[in-house]
Structure 1
Amino acid sequence: MTIILAHRGYSSKFPENTMKAFVKTAEAGAEGLELDVQMTKDGELVVIHDEKIDRTTNGKGYVKDYTAKEIRKFDAGQKEPIPFLKDVFTWLSGNSMICNIEFKNGLFPYKGMEDKVISLVREYQLEKRIILSSFNHYSVVYANQFAPEIETAPILAEGLYMPWIYAQSIRSKGFHPNFKAAPNEIIKQSLEHNIAIRPYTVNNESEMERLMKAGCSAIITDDPIKAFKVREGIKKRS
């Protein structure tokens, strides 16, 4: 069965990367969620996609220039604050959902972020339910070396020749390609080599159906309810 991971939570209907979007993800029937992590001026792990808060909140400026106390004052939509990662982990402790954490450290290197995330994962004993991913593959490699018990997955924006070989070479058990870079043959070969493949961001029903029929390990989507309906439709027809 292809697992459904909600991209930044149920982001097609609720403010992305907020606790409301995450709670609604569970209600929609998804098995997990994907979120993004950055760091405040005083080293707090916060869940937000962009380096700036301008697009997703009523504030302006870079995440890294605010303290944890200051950043909580902004409205991320529908009166939801920017969550701390520990808020999400507290919530995850009460359910069985999978969580894909993306390190957003391509623009700013956020010194020590990987260590802090891993320490928090261990503190909440979520090692078996977390996937650490990033476009920054140095972070992926470091995370694997520091915490081999936590699954890692490089994110691939474009097609890569034999991506399962690349994943194996950096000791990752999977990879997350753009769905356009996940043709059926790549899916088939990856699964045959025991490498998970979780394409992003899949919002088109026909693409959802193609990827699910091909046996993708998971899909990352903004609309978990749509994905759930597509998956149920495939089950009924099979």
Structure 2
Amino acid sequence: MTFIFAHRGSAGTHPENTMESFIAAEKSGAEGLELDVHLSKDGEIVVIHDETVDRTTNGKGFVHQLTVAELKELNASYKFKTFQSFIRSPKIPTLKEVFEWMRGNNLLCNIEMKNGKIMYPLLEEKVIQLIRDYRYEERIIISSFNHYSLVRCYQLAPELETAPLYSDGLYMPWIYAKAIHSKGLHPNFKAAPNMIIQEAMANGIAVRPYTVNKESDMERLIAIQCSAIITDYPEKAFKIRKKLSK
């Protein structure tokens, strides 16, 4: 069965990387979440995609130059007007908050390390320590476009699954994955033709393409039983998977 990972939660219908988006993803039937992590000024692991808060909140500035308290003051609903309530607007969560919520479900969680443009000191160590504190070793996949970071994660915690992110065609990517001790591959779906996916899986490497939002692409990947897809629309993917399984 092709697992469904909700990209930044149900990001197609909810403010990305917020608890509201993650809760919606769980209700959609998804098996997993995909989220992004940075470090705040005071060294807390926070869940947000960009290096700045400009696009996704009503604030401005770099994440690493703001404290958790300052980040929590921001409204993270950006373009989703229906979520801009004066009672409670969506906030930037910490990874610890997400992990606390995960105690009440069985979701997998793909953590993307956002340390390509800003090299956060000790990001890998902090994330791994939190995973171990919650004993989520079997529920976590760590991915990154920074493959040096993935090797560092393997050195610190060889029991954790890592998966390199990449956006262009990679020759025999299953060999590369094994070379950096990764058990998965997270390619852009455009760089993941069926033949490559099937060969990688035959070599024991899970393949989870991103960001699969068109129904035709979902159908193609589910039909070949791709390990998982990462999508902004987990509810749509769940319905397609259900239809194809009949």
* Other-structure match for 1:76: 76
- Kindly state the Cα deviation for residue 233 of structure 1 after the two structures are TM-superposed: 1.0
Code of the aligned partner of 1:7: H
* Other-structure match for 2:205: 195
* Other-structure match for 2:34: 34
CA distance in 1 between counterparts of 2:236 and 2:33 reads 15
* Other-structure match for 2:156: 146
1:114-159 CA-to-partner distances (Å, cap 9, x unmatched) read 1000000000110000000000000011101110111100001111
1:34-90 CA-to-partner distances (Å, cap 9, x unmatched) read 000001111000000000101100100100110111111101013011000000000
CA distance in 2 between counterparts of 1:190 and 1:212 reads 16
Structure 2: unaligned runs, 5 residues or longer: 78-82, 84-88
Find the residue that maps to 1:102 and give its secondary structure. Answer: strand
* Other-structure match for 1:44: 44
Code of the aligned partner of 1:120: L
Find the residue that maps to 1:35 and give its secondary structure. Answer: strand
Identify the match of residue 177 of structure 1 among 159, 168, 187.
Answer: 187
- Kindly state the Cα deviation for residue 188 of structure 1 after the two structures are TM-superposed: 1.0
1:22 paired to 2:25: no
Indicate conservation of the 8 Å contact 1:198/1:220, yes or no.
yes
> Would you identify which runs of 4 or more consecutive aligned residues in structure 1 move more than 3 Å?
none
Identify the match of residue 135 of structure 1 among 141, 145, 162.
Answer: 145
Code of the aligned partner of 2:2: T
* Other-structure match for 2:225: 215
CA distance in 2 between counterparts of 1:121 and 1:33 reads 15
CA distance in 1 between counterparts of 2:224 and 2:196 reads 10
Find the residue that maps to 2:118 and give its secondary structure. Answer: coil
Code of the aligned partner of 2:127: V
Indicate conservation of the 8 Å contact 1:202/1:221, yes or no.
yes
Code of the aligned partner of 2:165: I
Find the residue that maps to 2:226 and give its secondary structure. Answer: coil
CA distance in 2 between counterparts of 1:162 and 1:181 reads 12
Indicate conservation of the 8 Å contact 1:187/1:215, yes or no.
no
CA distance in 1 between counterparts of 2:108 and 2:10 reads 14
TM-score in terms of structure 2 length: 0.95
CA distance in 2 between counterparts of 1:2 and 1:144 reads 26
Indicate conservation of the 8 Å contact 1:35/1:101, yes or no.
yes
* Other-structure match for 2:86: none
Code of the aligned partner of 1:204: K
- Kindly state the Cα deviation for residue 215 of structure 1 after the two structures are TM-superposed: 1.6
**Matched positions, count:** 236
Code of the aligned partner of 2:164: P
CA distance in 2 between counterparts of 1:36 and 1:198 reads 16
Find the residue that maps to 2:69 and give its secondary structure. Answer: helix
- Kindly state the Cα deviation for residue 214 of structure 1 after the two structures are TM-superposed: 1.4
Taking only aligned residues, the RMSD between alpha carbons, in angstroms, comes to 0.6
* Other-structure match for 1:108: 118
* Other-structure match for 1:233: 243
